[in-house]
A and B are shown apart, each in its own frame.
Chain A
Amino acid sequence: MLLTIEGLTKRYGTGDAALNGVDLAIPAGEVVGLIGPSGAGKSTLIRCINRLVEPTAGRVFLAGDEVTGRRDLRFMRRRMGMIFQEFALVERLTVMENVLSGRLGYVPYWRSLLRRYPAADVQRAFATLDRVGLLDHVDKRADALSGGQRQRVGIARALLQQPDILLVDEPTASLDPKTSRQIMRLICEVCAERSLAAVVNMHDVALAQMFLSRIVGLRQGRVVYDGPSNGLTPEVLTVIYGEEDWTRSAQRDDDVADEDVHGARPHGREPLAAVG
């Protein structure tokens, strides 16, 4: 197993456990979707893996090396690329600087300070920017890009670490439906190309089902489902999220949902008729 999580628990302050004894095993090259209601501990789980949040108990292993409880954390972190919900680019740095910051775990301080990265790193940065389709934006400042472009920079930065695994925290939460699909497609493609494993935390079940074959459902800090995405029956969704009419929305994706709002409705009165 590439990533093994054993009994991971996180308690914030004196409150309830955000994570409660989570066990999870991910083999090399597998992309796993993590779903669950807000507050279920999806983000906490991802952040406990690279210890941006320090777990209260439990152990995490990356390819047999324990991540938890070690002092030279940065040598483990550089093997795990992270992609963030709101991109978390350094806004005032250029695209190239942001992408090259993925090498910070490998280069000495003076090289990073003077931006004198090894030629091989710079070549890899160009190649990665080409792969995510941003070769024309190398010298732009990150805050000059659109949301989708920024997330592509975030992906390129994570890939430049040449990681064993990607930790992806709500990659599409601040993107429109079309861009969301493009970003999810890109993440899945680069993972397949590099036989890279990933944990992708998602709030959009339909999008997760569309792109990911294995889904882990989290509720109140516990794993309540771990199986194929086509096993997400209304009963399973009720276990994960609670009572709701899942037969209506589970099979729909965003475009259908859009038509539902703007187009003619099958039931009920016309939405505009009431206004006019």
Chain B
Amino acid sequence: MPVTRAHDGLPEWRRSTPRQALLRWFGWLLLVALFVFCWRVMTQDTIWAYFWDAPNQAADIAARMMPPRWSYIDALWRAMWDTLAIATLGTVLGIVLATPVAFLAARNTRPSAALVRPVALVVIVASRSINSLIWALLLVTVLGPGVLAGIVAIALRSIGFIGKLLYEAIEEIDKKQVEAIQATGATSLQVVDYAVVPQVMPAFAGISVFRWDINIRESSVVGLVGAGGIGLNLEASLNTLAWSQVSLILLVILATVLVSEWVSAKVRAAII
């Protein structure tokens, strides 16, 4: 009972009763206690000598990284091109596969609630629960090392991301526009074409560009397990302790990500 009577008879209002407030404070106390406990468990195996030495080690590696070996850039052009290709083709393939899945999963467009929708949701969850790097690891063993494994790995990971966001966008459309098209006597395919697709187009474009942006970063890593791109060079340089090459590769990746951020921001602004 948040409303009470004060001594002068005027009604008083608080958000919660004293009991609720007490419970809330107790909850916060438990959370802090849990944090302190976890911290202790986490640090009991830490070898503090390593920890205190870390700044020296970091400074040492940084010194070896500097200056970057600029001449190595000639070996990176092709690798960077492969990385962009993996990201872009993987995104395109992911979009192609994810779009039908999204329409089958959305409550307002799925053809069957008992069979098709659960299957579509399982596809989405399976794709999302496995990291790109794991997909790449599996695909390198199946397809052999190279760019193709990278493209398929990126695509498989993208299905879940694009599918989930797209089907949520489909479920959020304005129902009245759908009713208006249904009232004309349109078939269900025509309803999708005239009432659903126009409404999800901005979301679709935004999601696709966003995923492409993420995939640029992911595709620079899949090379670590042999799936092509600049990750291959990164792995080779790390293995040979060629820190000056590592620093150059990181700089190149940073520059590419900056460019892709800029491009996707431009595209999204143009759509909305």
Q: Name A residues whose Cβ lies closer than 8 Å to a Cβ of B.
A: 50, 52, 74-80, 82, 84, 86, 88-93, 97, 101-106, 109, 112-113, 154, 157, 161, 167
Which one of A90, A92, A106, A109 lies within 8 Å of B181 (CB-CB)?
A: A90
Verify A90–B198 contact, CB threshold 8 A. yes
- Per DSSP, chain B at the interface is helix
> B190 is contacted by which of A86, A89, A93, A109 (Cβ under 8 Å)?
A109
Please tell me which stretch of B27-35, B41-49, B172-180, B237-245 contacts chain A, meaning at least 4 of its Cβ atoms lie within 8 angstroms of it.
B172-180
Give which listed residue, A74, A88, A92, A103, contacts B201 with CB less than 8 A: A92
Contact yes or no, A93 B198, CB < 8 A: yes
B186 interface residue, CB < 8 Å from A? yes
A84-B176, A104-B190, A109-B190 known; A90 vs B195 contact (CB < 8 Å): yes
Q: Are B179 and A104 in contact (CB under 8 A)?
A: no
Additional 7 contacts, C-beta under 8 A, given A88-B180, A91-B198: A90-B199, A92-B198, A101-B186, A102-B184, A104-B184, A104-B190, A112-B186
Q: Which residues of B contact A91 (CB under 8 A)?
A: 174, 177, 198-199
The answer to whether A86 touches B184 (Cβ under 8 A) is no
Question: Are B184 and A89 in touch, CB under 8 angstroms?
Answer: no
**Is B9 in contact with chain A by the CB < 8 A criterion?**
no
Say yes or no: B193 contacts A157, CB within 8 Å.
no
- In the bound assembly, the distance between CA atoms of A113 and B190 in angstroms comes to 8
A-B contact count (CB 8 A): 80
| Distance A154 CA – B176 CA, assembled complex (angstroms) | 12
Quote the shortest CB–CB distance from B177 to chain A (angstroms).
Answer: 5
Least Cβ–Cβ distance between B38 and chain A, in angstroms: 47
A161 touches B193 (CB 8 A): no
A52 CA / B177 CA spacing, docked (Å): 12
* Chain B contacts with A in 179-195, Cβ cutoff 8 A: 179-187, 189-190, 193-195
| Contact status of A89 and B177, CB under 8 A, knowing A74-B187, A101-B186, A109-B189 | yes
Contacting residues, chain B, for A92 (C-beta < 8 A): 198-199, 201-202
- Residues of B bordering A, CB below 8 Å: 174, 176-177, 179-187, 189-190, 193-195, 198-199, 201-202
Structural contact, A105 and B189, CB atoms closer than 8 A: no
Q: Please name the residue on chain B nearest to A88 by beta carbon.
A: B180
When distances are taken between beta carbons in the complex, the residues of chain B under 8 Å from A102 are 184
User: Which listed residue, A82, A97, A106, A113, touches B183 by the CB 8 Å rule?
Assistant: A82
Indicate which residue in B183, B185, B187, B198 contacts A109 across the interface (CB closer than 8 Å): B187
Chain A contacts for B180, CB-based, 8 A: 82, 84, 88-90, 154, 157
B190 with A78: CB separation less than 8 A: no
Contact of A52 among B183, B187, B189, B193 (CB under 8 A): B183
Q: How far is the CB of A113 from chain B (nearest CB, A)?
A: 6
Q: Which residues of B contact A82 (CB under 8 A)?
A: 180, 183-184
**Could you show 13 A-B contacts with beta carbons less than 8 Å apart?**
A52-B179, A74-B185, A74-B187, A78-B185, A86-B176, A88-B177, A88-B180, A92-B202, A104-B186, A109-B187, A109-B189, A157-B180, A161-B185
CB-contact partner of B182 in A77, A109, A157, under 8 A = A77
CA distance A3 to B269 in the complex (A): 50
A78 and B184 within 8 A (CB): yes
Q: How far is the CA of A239 from the CA of B182 in the complex (A)?
A: 36
B193 near A112: Cβ-Cβ < 8 Å: yes
In the bound complex, residues from chain A placing their C-beta under 8 Å from that of B184 are 77-78, 82, 101-105, 157, 161
Instruction: Check A112 against B185 for contact (C-beta < 8 Å).
Output: no
> From A86, which residue of chain B is reached at the shortest CB distance?
B176
A177 to B204, CA, bound (A): 39
Complex contact B185–A90 (CB within 8 A): no
CB distance from B212 to the nearest CB of A (A): 23
Q: With A88-B177, A89-B177, A109-B189 in contact, do A80 and B194 touch (Cβ < 8 Å)? A: no
Q: How many Å lie between the Cα of A231 and that of B265 in the bound state? A: 63
CA distance in complex: A113, B174 (Å): 21
Question: CA A76 – CA B181 in complex, angstroms?
Answer: 14
* Candidate in B182, B186, B189, B193 with the most chain A CB atoms within 10 angstroms: B186
- From known contacts A88-B176, A104-B194, A113-B193, infer whether A75 and B181 are also in contact, taking CB-CB under 8 Å: no
